[in-house]
Amino acid sequence: MQKRSLGTSGLEVSAIGLGCMGMTAYYGPGKDKTEMKSLLPAAVEQGVTLFDTAEVYGPFVNEEVVGEGLKGVRDQVVLATKFGFDLSGPERVPGAIGLNSRPEHIKQVCEQSLMRLQTDRIDLFYQHRVDPNVPIEDVAGAVKQLIAEGKVKHFGMSEAGVETIRRAHAVQPVTALQSEYSLWWRRIESEVLPVLEELGIGLVPYSPLGRGFLAGALKGTSKLDEKDFRAKLPRFSPEALRANQLLVNVLQQVAERMNATAAQICLAWLLAQKPWIVPIPGTTDLGRLEENLAAASMQLSAEDLQEIEGAAESVAILGERYPENLEQMTGL
């Protein structure tokens, strides 16, 4: 597995990481925990070193599974987790409870995440969503203190806008921005990517396969499980699924000509954008993991990239990526 550095931070990780959210929730009922704990070290054997989780995934249980699954190989991996939601209420639902990036809360979340992850340090600690009620300088300052104490190694942000990134970076250098980025959501290209390059910040795209859709995991006639959070997203409404299937069809045609899969085409395209981009596709299947990782060795020519982008741009995507209340939590 090739390695990449996240910006100029010196944090080196596998060119493709593993998003762990779907192991315990969100895409229907959570998977068998024992199987997921076995998949994690198997991913390490395949060369994966970056593993992404968050306290809100579950909540809490995802960090526990990741910590247990990777404890035997802890020094070989980079653990990334996140703070920023208030999970103190009975519902424990992001958005229903709200945001909380107060410095005292950040420190509390850090201690709890360290216990669940069974480790003495968090390699990459992201603010999951920008909290409009807390100055970003205070957030960055709190993480800076945790870094000084050795409990955190690197500071990250998620779905933040350029001015917020600049202000945070001035207090504590930001190692990575995590943001949605894929062939069907490219909004960050115009403003965010140039700022990341200027400041030496890496990009970790989540949902690089369009929450599985671009890989062909869903068909236009698929009916999502009631526990699958995608059922609440406008882009995954029955009407949108039928319309957006056209994009999957054209990507599969391109992939076939390149002797690859649609998932590999999507990931290789992302890797070709910048050398400091590290996508984190999620999967709960070893075969799919191996398929995804093979994209790191693909070499796309300028003509290949032009063909891929032309195919993607030939289809108008129907539906917003989030409902309005969740989109408002982003800074983009």
Active-site positions read: 57
Q: Do 138 and 168 contact (CB within 8 A), yes or no?
A: no
- Enumerate the H helices of 11-161 as residue ranges: 33-45, 61-70, 103-117, 136-148
* DSSP assigned state of 58: T
Measured CA to CA, the distance from residue 310 to residue 306 in angstroms comes to: 6
Number of neighbours of residue 290 by Cβ within 10 angstroms: 13
Q: Is the peptide bond prior to 59 cis by the omega test (within 30 degrees of 0)?
A: yes
Classify each residue of 296-306 as buried b or exposed e, where b means 16 or more C-beta atoms within 10 Å of its C-beta.
Answer: bebebeeebee
By the 8 A CB rule, do 214 and 21 touch? no
Residues with Cβ within 8 Å of 41's Cβ and at least 6 positions away in sequence, in order, are 69, 70, 72, 73
Q: 317: which DSSP letter?
A: P
Residue 250 CA to residue 233 CA, distance in Å, equals 23
How many Å apart are CA 126 and CA 157, to the nearest integer?
5
Tokens coding 192: 């965010």
> Which residue(s) pair with 176 in the sheet?
156, 202
